[in-house]
Each structure stands twice: as structure tokens, then as C-alpha cells.
Amino acid sequence: MDVPLNAKVKCQDRVCGKVICAIINPISKLVTHIVVQEKGFIGIGRLIPVEEILESQNDQITLRCSLDEFSKFESFTENHYIGSDELLFNDQAEHHYFLFSTPDFGGAFEYEPWFEETECIPQGELGIHCGRRSMPQMAKLGRLTSS
């Protein structure tokens, strides 16, 4: 079964979102999950096992579940609050967003607390995102295959 990236996704009831990421097992090179971004303003990404795919076409994937069942799947991202009192080391700094300010050029650096977003990719697997250049051979294909 082909898994087209950026395809719209339909539950049994109606359209529920679009594919924004495919999760693959790097050893078997098969898709294990798809990430479906919900329709709407917030657009939460849901981690959907490929076993839930009923049918896959060039521009649409149909899931076995209803819209209510779809909304109960695990969220793909988690947000973590980074407080102003947390100590960050140099190797961690690249993973956080900071707003540095110096009232005058001789002042101390400060940062505002921010949120860190992490993806919930199952251990030992890889995420292939639409438009990312991390795996050029996959980007050329435009589609991935599940078992």
C-alpha cells in the first residue's frame, strides 16, 4: 500500500485532516505510522498506526475509524514549559528559543521563559516530513510504502 505524503485523510464520517509525516522503521524500511494534522485553526497532529488505513489513493487516505475515534489517538507533539529558573547548559541551548535582552550594553543577559515542542516518534523509528531535505531519496519518491 502506498502512503502519499500531504494527502488529505478521511475518517469514515468525513475529512479529518492531511498527512504531514510518515514514521518508518529504518531496518525494514516500512511505514509504521502516519501523522495526520487535524483540520482547523490549531491542527493537532495525531499519530495513527498504519493498521488503521482502510484505503490509500494518490491524493487521499481513508481510515477505518470514526472522527470521534480519530480524536482519541495520541498527539504527535508535546510542549514543555522552559521556566526562567531552569539551568541550561551549552549543549542544550540549541534546542530552546531564547529572547535575550540587554538594557544597556553592559547589562546581564536574561531570557523570557518559552515552550519547547518535541515530536513523539516511537523509539527506534524515523519521521519523514513533507518538505524536509533530511532524506533526499525519499523526497524524490514522493510516496512511501507500508506493509
CATH number at residue 51: 3.90.50.10
Q: What is the pTM of this model?
A: 0.68
Strands 45-49, 53-56: pairing kind: unpaired
Mark whether 46 and 100 lie in a shared domain: no
**Could you tell me where the DSSP H helices lie in the chain?**
67-70, 90-93, 136-141
Cβ atoms of 75 and 46 within 8 Å: the answer is yes
Q: What does the alpha-carbon distance between residue 19 and residue 38 come to, in Å, rounded to a whole number?
A: 9
Domain count, the chain: 2
Nearest-5° angle of CA 62, CA 139, CA 143? Answer: 25
pLDDT value for 111: 54
Mark whether 43 and 26 lie in a shared domain: yes
pLDDT digits (tens, 9 = 90+) for 80-138: 776 655 545 544 544 444 444 455 555 555 555 566 778 889 899 999 887 655 444 44
Owner of C-alpha cell 519547547 = 116
Mark whether 91 and 63 lie in a shared domain: no
Q: What is the mean pLDDT of residues 2-19?
A: 88
Q: What does the alpha-carbon distance between residue 6 and residue 19 come to, in Å, rounded to a whole number?
A: 5
pLDDT value for 105: 55
Range of the domain at 108: 79-118
The percent of residues above 70 in pLDDT, for the chain, comes to 65
Mark whether 31 and 65 lie in a shared domain: yes
